[in-house]
């Protein structure tokens, strides 16, 4: 059966490292008949969560009417979710944090997922040319969305990404990302 993949680019750079890495995974997935949708968070109208808990009490209705409504409709049916974030000041970008907060609509009052379990791939890029330095944070953050039904399948961290074409120039990495896309489509 074909898989539905919803991916989020959390970098402001449309053609940067996050975008290249996500596109590469999706290429592999599309070639294996997955249905893929990519959202460039920075280019969308997504407001901050207001912390009103209305979504919690109403089974997932958010008071903010913006681009999240369409996104949530897609997420309800997704099998796999990919969230790509550049590391900004040792954490996810503000775009990704805003998205994560707004995903609160996917859980109920008892913190059970409203729309079942989906595989989550968290993909990070960062500038420092040192592997593993954000591993503690990345591990911690990977579990943050489990109550929304986004169950961590894989964390990917790509270091040394100060130049925007770093991922594009790394053929071995591109191949690995493509293979991951193939794998998750099965
Ligand atoms: C405001 C800001 C903060 C950053 N903070 C960090 C950091 O704490 N550690 C790090 O290694 N790189 C840091 N970087 C570098 C980014 O992680 C890097 O430029 C990004 O991952 C590249 O991905 P992109 O091409 O998709 O934008 C920072 C960049 C910016 C603009």
Say if pTM beats, i.e. exceeds, 0.75: yes
Reply yes or no on whether the pLDDT at 1 is more than 90: no
Q: Is the CB of 60 under 6 A from ligand 1?
A: no
Phi, psi of 90 (to 5 degrees): 65, 15
How many residues are there in the chain? 186
Q: Could you identify the atom of ligand 1 that is nearest to the CA of residue 161?
A: 22
pLDDT digits (tens, 9 = 90+) for 58-100: 999 999 999 999 999 999 999 999 999 999 999 999 999 999 9
Phi, psi of 166 (to 5 degrees): -60, -45
- Contact between 43 and 14 (Cβ < 8 Å): yes
Span 3-12, mean pLDDT?
98
Span 125-138, mean pLDDT?
98
CA 143 to centroid of ligand 1, rounded, Å? 22
Span 30-46, mean pLDDT?
97
Phi, psi of 84 (to 5 degrees): -110, 125
Task: Give the DSSP H/E element, type plus range, for residue 139.
Answer: helix 135-142
Q: Give me 7's structure tokens.
A: 């991916």
Residue whose CA lies nearest to ligand 1 atom number 8: 89
Q: Is the CB of 10 under 6 A from ligand 1?
A: no
Helix, strand, coil tally for the chain in percent (to 5): 35, 20, 40
pLDDT band at 23 (very low <50, low <70, confident <90, very high): very high
pLDDT digits (tens, 9 = 90+) for 135-152: 999 999 999 999 999 999
What superfamily does domain 4-179 belong to in CATH? Flavodoxin domain (3.40.50.360)
Mutate to test the pocket of ligand 1, among 13, 14, 86, 165 (most ligand atoms within 8 A of CB): 86
Shortest CA distance to 177 belongs to which of 78, 82, 41?
A: 82
Quote the strand ranges of 31-144, DSSP E: 35-40, 80-86, 118-125
**Residue 144 CB contacts under 8 Å (≥ 6 apart), including other chains:** 100
Span 165-178, mean pLDDT?
98
- Contact between 171 and 136 (Cβ < 8 Å): no
Q: Give me 117's structure tokens.
A: 């379990």
Confidence (pLDDT) at 106: 98
């Amino acid at each position: 059966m074909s898989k539905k993949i919803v991916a989020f680019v959390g970098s402001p750079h449309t053609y940067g490292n996050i975008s290249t890495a996500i596109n590469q995974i999706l290429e592999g997935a599309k070639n294996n008949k997955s249905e893929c949708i990519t959202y460039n968070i920075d280019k969308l109208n997504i407001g901050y969560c207001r912390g009103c808990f209305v979504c919690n009490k109403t089974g997932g209705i958010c008071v903010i009417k913006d681009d999240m409504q369409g996104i949530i409709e897609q997420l309800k049916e997704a099998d796999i979710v990919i969230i790509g974030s550049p590391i900004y000041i040792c954490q996810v970008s503000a775009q990704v944090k805003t998205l994560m907060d707004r995903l609160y609509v996917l859980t109920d009052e008892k913190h059970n997922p409203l729309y079942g379990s989906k595989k989550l791939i968290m993909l990070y890029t960062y500038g420092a040319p040192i592997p593993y330095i954000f591993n503690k944070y990345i591990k911690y953050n990977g579990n943050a969305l489990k109550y929304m039904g986004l169950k961590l399948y894989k964390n990917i961290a790509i270091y040394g990404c100060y130049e925007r074409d770093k991922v594009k120039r790394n053929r071995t990495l591109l191949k690995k990302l493509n293979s991951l896309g193939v794998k998750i489509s099965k």
